[in-house]
Structure 1
């Protein structure tokens, strides 16, 4: 599961392919009300702490690139309460990947300080939160000034 249905084993850009798994899951979850969606994502987060931490321990690495379950959860955080429309999905994908690769403060710091499972999962959740803020701000501005 940590390998994102095998996408983490891609020879290049495994995090990007793992995020695509998040896109597919979002497509199915987008019609959920806010509270059930948040509960599912929270459960996935806490399960991910164990799954990603155990996988990292098993292979003896801190945050191996083939663990992409965290990208799936981070993308679902990024897309919270956004419509399942192409422009929002593509925007969310691009912005999330930028934050996940760039790792602005405190993403890299959190990853280092929290340890295996928690660090692996939390850095992508923070990237997802940054993306969420940007996308919801863009949506508000578009609805207010363009529509």
Structure 2
């Protein structure tokens, strides 16, 4: 209930926007200028559905948010109800900064969790110049 009230408070600002503006890339794909960030939303699928009902078409998530399975379930249900199709939503996710090798295992798991076969945008989360040394690979341990 608190989440709904919070959303209703925000609706006053968001609902005034008839259509969220977007930028069209050279390949014709539209990138919404306003999207729903999902950090710290691990158990409120109604937030995803409410945002889509309000006109949001960009969902931003990441492996590190630990919510891609919940978001995938919410989107699947939303699509199955005939509200929108996958092609109507721009989904961006992120590869964890420590997962550059083997990155394909992470993206495969993320796609499965999100119940989609593609991301519209895929970034490296908090990229940094560092070599990840897992403790069992450390040359300093006997």
Q: TM-score range, shorter-chain basis?
A: 0.3 to 0.5
Q: Tell me which structure has the larger Cα radius of gyration.
A: 2
TM-score scaled by length of structure 1: 0.33
Structure showing the higher helix proportion among its residues: 1
TM-score scaled by length of structure 2: 0.33
Structure showing the higher strand proportion among its residues: 2
Q: Higher relative contact order by CA 8 Å / sep ≥ 6: 1 or 2?
A: 1
